Amino acid sequence: MEKITGAEALMRSLEHEGVEVLFGYPGGAIMPTYDALYDHKQTLNHILVRHEQAAVHAAQGYARVSGKVGCCIVTSGPGAMNTITGVADAMVDSTPLVVICGQVGAAMLGTDAFQEVDVVGVTQPITKWNFQIRRAEDIAWAVARAFYIASSGRPGPVVLDFTKNAQTALIDYQPQKVDFIRSYNPVPQPAEGAIEKAARMINESVKPFMLVGQGVELADASEELKTLIEKAQIPVGTTFLGLSALPSDHPLNMGKLGMHGNLAPNVMTNQCDLLIAVGMRFDDRVTGNLKNYAKQAKIIHFEIDPSEINKNVKVDLAVLGDCKQTLAAVTPLVDKATHNAWIDGFKPYNEKEYNKVIRPALSPTEGPILMGEVVNKVSEAARHDAILVTDVGQNQMFGCRYFRFTRPRSVVTSGGCGTMGFGIPAAIGATFGAPERTVCMFSGDGGFQMTIQELGTIMEQQCPVKMILLNNNYLGNVRQWQYMFFNKRYSFTPMANPDFEKIAAGYGIPCRTVVERSELDNAIREMLDTDGPFLLQVAVLEEENVLPMTPPGGNVDEMLLEVK
């Protein structure tokens, strides 16, 4: 058998796992691997980012829209540490990643060698699994195990810490495939009778309401979801990460849950008699004050991760397993039903929100441009078929409120971590994960500058990212909280910004700035009609607030429709 280096074994192992795209940044401790990568450029498309954090966010964007495992390679020490934010973000948002970090030679471990950091110790709490490869003989096994763990069950990130000696040693290579690990049960089976009991509870319900999270999309269960809710006529509210699990215009889609969600689904959470949670984790931004959350309802939780059961909300029935399978199993046992009176009960709240918040946000006739109207116009111009990527802040809230969707895997946003700077690199990854689709990335001026160097990656790769910069010269979300809860004391939230047009020009990226509402439609069309990347900067109302809003610690059904 031909002897090859450990670095070459890594390349072949990645190819064996079906990897096609890598995001990364070279350095000293990972240099043998990059040398091996030189001979695999035809099969492993390496995207050179400008910062290691961006490598992870790009891999996240790739994974979220493609359904595949995202993969990135960085060096040791500061290179590895720069991935930590992205790894934590991927862990809480259940994104399948394999992050490969260089490391000093095994003989030098623990000596505080140049650019040595205990990567395994640092990342252990924020990964599904991590492993230090000290011997080249372990490479094929470690890579196969990493991809299996990252992608199976509830997905998540895996970190491989790759010592330099393991990269350079010569070995006999044999590819491996892992599809079973003793003591690891990625897809638990429902308890005996759980499916039947869930069906009975649904059949007995007069006012059922379903909460849909990203788990439905991770399981590719959108069709199973639609079949069930249409048969039993169950209205649905979605989390921000689960927004595209159901088409926006589906008659049973009642809107978004949570702090900045829609009024009707939040209010009706506390009026239903049966709450059915599918692939969501009862995050505090969804539940509000747990003491007064859905106390009148029986609760069913369809969930793949047993650790989420009764973690935040005590449930009456847990249905463990892959929701693609469990939803399909319960549907034949559910009666065909109508809940017209219950569903009609959402309408007054929808109308109240529309008249008080949505219509003024989307159809202003005078004054500065509003963020919601920009999002709505971009979505309409893209025929509601684009992928939405957001940064974090007001741009994220407005983006998720007013962008609309026709198919799954169309939302890429940082949920549990709320990572500013996520937008640009995640959008880069999305263009590689779904090259046939339009990718629209919304950002504020704050988050845009956190990873602005990735305009260099966009320039080099000509990534067709349509970047919409909603510029209000503030850290807008923090400013809103200061306005509402800190007596309007704007402590270090106003921002002095650079000339973004000149920056875009320096990277060779077409840019247009819109100040007047009359220019907006033509500018959006120009952006969408331009091949390759485009930056559309829109000067928006500086002190606009995202509404409705459940105040922090408030009850989910006590949403503010205005602030004074």
Say which amino acid occupies 89: D
Print the SS3 string covering 301-313.
EEECCHHHCCCCC
Residue-wise pLDDT for 268-323, tens only, equals 999 999 999 999 999 999 999 999 999 999 999 999 999 999 999 999 999 999 99
Q: According to the model, what pLDDT value does residue 143 have?
A: 98
Residue-wise pLDDT for 478-517, tens only, equals 999 999 999 999 999 999 999 999 999 999 999 999 999 9
**Mean pLDDT across 2-9:** 96
Q: How confident is the model at residue 21 (pLDDT cuts 50, 70, 90)?
A: very high
Phi, psi of 124 (to 5 degrees): -55, -40
Q: If we measure between CA atoms, which residue out of 155, 95, 340, 322 comes closest to residue 225? A: 322
Q: How confident is the model at residue 365 (pLDDT cuts 50, 70, 90)?
A: confident
Q: How confident is the model at residue 156 (pLDDT cuts 50, 70, 90)?
A: very high
Residue-wise pLDDT for 204-224, tens only, equals 999 999 999 999 999 999 999
Which of 472-494 are b and which e, b meaning 16 or more Cβ less than 10 Å from the residue's Cβ? Answer: bbbbbbbbbebbbeeeeeeeebe
- Contact call for residues 441 and 467 (beta carbons, < 8 A): yes
Q: Has this prediction a pTM greater than 0.85?
A: yes
Radius of gyration of the chain, Cα coordinates, nearest whole angstrom: 24
Q: How confident is the model at residue 415 (pLDDT cuts 50, 70, 90)?
A: very high
Angle between the N-to-C axes of helices 371-381 and 520-529, in degrees from 0 to 180, rounded to the nearest 10: 40
**Mean pLDDT across 375-394:** 98
Residue-wise pLDDT for 103-133, tens only, equals 999 999 999 999 999 999 999 999 999 999 9
Strands 3-5 and 170-172: antiparallel
- Contact call for residues 139 and 166 (beta carbons, < 8 A): yes
**Mean pLDDT across 542-551:** 96
**Mean pLDDT across 172-194:** 96
d(CA 320, CA 309): 9
Average pLDDT across the chain, whole number: 97
Q: Write the DSSP string, 101-115.
A: EEE--GGGTTTT-TT
Q: How confident is the model at residue 564 (pLDDT cuts 50, 70, 90)?
A: confident
Q: According to the model, what pLDDT value does residue 490 have?
A: 98
Residue 273 neighbours by CB under 8 Å, 6+ apart: 205, 206, 207, 208, 296, 297, 298
Q: In angstroms, how far is the first alpha carbon of the chain from the final one? A: 75
Q: What percent of the chain has pLDDT over 70?
A: 100
d(CA 447, CA 466): 16
Phi, psi of 493 (to 5 degrees): -110, -20
DSSP class of residue 188 equals P
Phi, psi of 322 (to 5 degrees): -70, 120
pLDDT beyond 80 at 1: no
Residue-wise pLDDT for 33-68, tens only, equals 999 999 999 999 999 999 999 999 999 999 999 999
pLDDT beyond 90 at 199: yes
- Contact call for residues 323 and 190 (beta carbons, < 8 A): no
Residue-wise pLDDT for 515-526, tens only, equals 999 999 999 999
Q: How confident is the model at residue 379 (pLDDT cuts 50, 70, 90)?
A: very high
**Among 236-240, 364-368, 443-447, which is the least confidently predicted range?**
364-368
